[in-house]
Amino acid sequence: MTKKITPDPPTVRKSPSTADRAIYLRKLPDTPSNEPRPAPANTPRLLDTLAFTCSKPVTPEAPYKPTLFAIQPGINAQDALTYVSNLLETAELNGDEISLHTNPVERALFWGMLHSVEVARAVVDALLEGTFASNPLSSD
C-alpha cells in the first residue's frame, strides 16, 4: 500500500448558467450602491440640521485667557467643513514634501500620520459632496 503525499484537489465548481446569471442580475438594484439615493424634496439637508460653531480658542492650554486665534461663533457646518477640507489638503501637500526628506523609519511613521490626514479629508469631502448630491439646487 502506498501513502498519498498530496491532498485531493479542491472540487471544481461548475460555472453558473446563463439563466442563473440572468436571475442574479435581475435582483441587483438599477443604481450603483456607491451613489446616494435621492432624498424626498421636503427632507432637510444634514448640514442644515447641525448647529453653528461656538467660540473656541485654537490653543486650548488656557481657554480663559484671550487668544490671538479662535474659532468664530456662528459659522455654519458647510463653511466649517469646507475650511477643514482645505486645511487637510494643505497638510497633505506639505506632508508629501516633508516625507521626501526623512529617513526610512521616520518616513514610515510619517506616512501613517499622512494617511490619517488623507482619510479625514476624504470623510469631510464625502460629507460635503453628499450634501450637494442630496440637494443639488441649494446655493449655499
User: Where does the pLDDT of residue 140 fall: very low under 50, low under 70, confident under 90, or very high at 90 and above?
Assistant: very low
Rounded CA-CA distance 92/112 in Å is 12
Q: Which of 77, 93, 85 is nearest to 120 (CA)?
A: 85
35 Cβ neighbours under 8 A, 6+ residues apart: 133
Residue 9 lies in a domain: no
Instruction: Count how many Cα atoms sit within 13 Å of the Cα of residue 125 in the half-sphere of its side chain.
Output: 11
Q: What is the mean pLDDT of residues 104-127?
A: 87
pLDDT tens digit string along 9-36? 666 666 666 677 667 666 666 655 555 5
Widest Cα–Cα separation across the chain: 90
Residue 93 lies in a domain: yes
Average pLDDT of the chain to the nearest whole number = 76
pLDDT over 50 (residue 94): yes
- Count of domains forming the chain: 1
pLDDT over 70 (residue 38): no
At residue 120, the pLDDT reads 92
Residue 80 lies in a domain: yes
Residue 5 lies in a domain: no
CA angle 90, 93, 94 (to 5 degrees): 85
Q: Which of 44, 48, 45, 66 is nearest to 57 (CA)?
A: 66
Residue 69 lies in a domain: yes
Most confident stretch, 34-43, 75-84, 126-135: 75-84
Domain range for 51 is 18-134
Residue 139 lies in a domain: no
